[in-house]
Amino acid sequence: MLLSRRLFTQAALLVPALPALAGVRALAAPADGAAGDMARFIAAMPKAEYHVHLEGTLEAEMKFALAQRNGVKLPYADVAAMKRSYVYHDLPSFLAIYYDGMNVLLKQQDFYDLAYAYLAKAHAQNVLYAEMFFDPQQHIDRGIAVEAVIEGITQARADAQAKLGIESQLILCFMRDLTADNAMKALDAALPYKDRLVGVGLDSDEKDNPPGKFAAHFAKARAAGLHVTTHCDVNQKDTLGHIREALLDIGVERIDHGGNILQSPELMAIARQRGITFTVCPTFSGQILVNGKPVDVVRGMLDNGLKVTLNSDDPAYMGSEYINEVMVKAQIRSNLTKAELLRIERNAFDAAWIAPERKAAFQARLDAFARAQGVTV
């Protein structure tokens, strides 16, 4: 039997009993008849997205098109067969599928097409601004020049802004399961193009790969004027230690996922004091288990005064659910009110790594939407 996304998420959360959480209220089912109204509200709401991996938006249909263009032979008869192969039960098995999919990305035009396709989808779902991750090490190690990767994405960003009006920026991610030396070589290769980047992050398999392994990389990127974030995936080995390192040793500005912080009042207080934003992807990291019972991460963060945002992560491998679909399901699961949805998007625009005047312009559009909907935040 194939493991679905839901089964993967549940399997990833099967961990020993954890400390009880303070301040997390029980969830109630949404009122009958409210779903359609909420879905329309979410669809129309101005949004920002910060936790989306461009390579994770590589839909099966595009894989086939790029494979044909680049002469890459795929072991699948058709798109449906490829999608049926997306079977994973934990983070490493997911990453194996994710990285294998990149083999069709070979030329600058491929990266252009990938980025433009995501930005067009995001624009269609009222995303005004996005900050997108990419994994240069996987491409450099396949013999692709980092210039081709960055320039292809950059041209797509420029064209999407000119033609569609969506603004975006690019975050370089280090792959934590590769060597620190490999990551430093990728950073050094990318720094000549730092004007095309807004920040650096840290992703891939977290086990035995703490943020501190890349302390020198983060310091070098920060010295070059780049912002800093890192993944802290849910229920990983030493997960609270990794969150502590990210906050206190690395000094990150955002944390990607980070749901296990709800286990630590001390770390939550630090995150609140420092104004840390959490880029939660509820499809993947929306729940943790506490004493065998599921605890909703989005609800827990809201109730504990943390700055939570909602994001799609790797939508091509997660049922092709982009930000609207993710938010509709999160609204139901976390029992979010319209005011709370607006608060989440205000968190998102507040966290943008952009000039203050652009941030103010986005907030003004969100405020206008709230007034038009008659919702007070």
Q: Which residues are annotated as a binding site?
A: 51, 53, 231, 313-314
**Cα–Cα distance for residue pair 38/230, rounded to 1 Å:** 31
248, 218 contact by CB (below 8 A): no
Provide the b/e sequence for 178-207 (b: ≥16 CB within 10 Å). Answer: beeeebebbbebbeebbebbbbbbbbbbbe
**Cα–Cα distance for residue pair 47/130, rounded to 1 Å:** 9
Phi-psi category of residue 101: left, alpha or beta, with phi > 0 → left and psi -120 to 50 → alpha: alpha
**Cα–Cα distance for residue pair 86/81, rounded to 1 Å:** 9
Structure tokens that stand for 62 in this block: 């595009």
* DSSP helix/strand/coil, 29: coil
**Cα–Cα distance for residue pair 194/313, rounded to 1 Å:** 24
Task: Residue 26: count other Cβ atoms within 10 Å of its Cβ.
Answer: 7
Cα within 13 Å of Cα(4), Cβ side: 5
Partner residues linked to 201 by β-bridges: 173
199: amino acid identity, one letter:
G
Strand 199-203 to strand 277-280: parallel, antiparallel, or no bridges (unpaired)?
unpaired
Strand 127-134 to strand 167-175: parallel, antiparallel, or no bridges (unpaired)?
parallel
180, 214 contact by CB (below 8 A): yes
**Cα–Cα distance for residue pair 257/245, rounded to 1 Å:** 15
**Cα–Cα distance for residue pair 301/21, rounded to 1 Å:** 11
Name the residue with tokens 């961990």: 15
Q: How many residues does the chain have?
A: 377
Q: Binding site for Zn(2+): residue ranges? A: 51, 53, 231, 313
Q: Binding site for substrate: residue ranges? A: 314
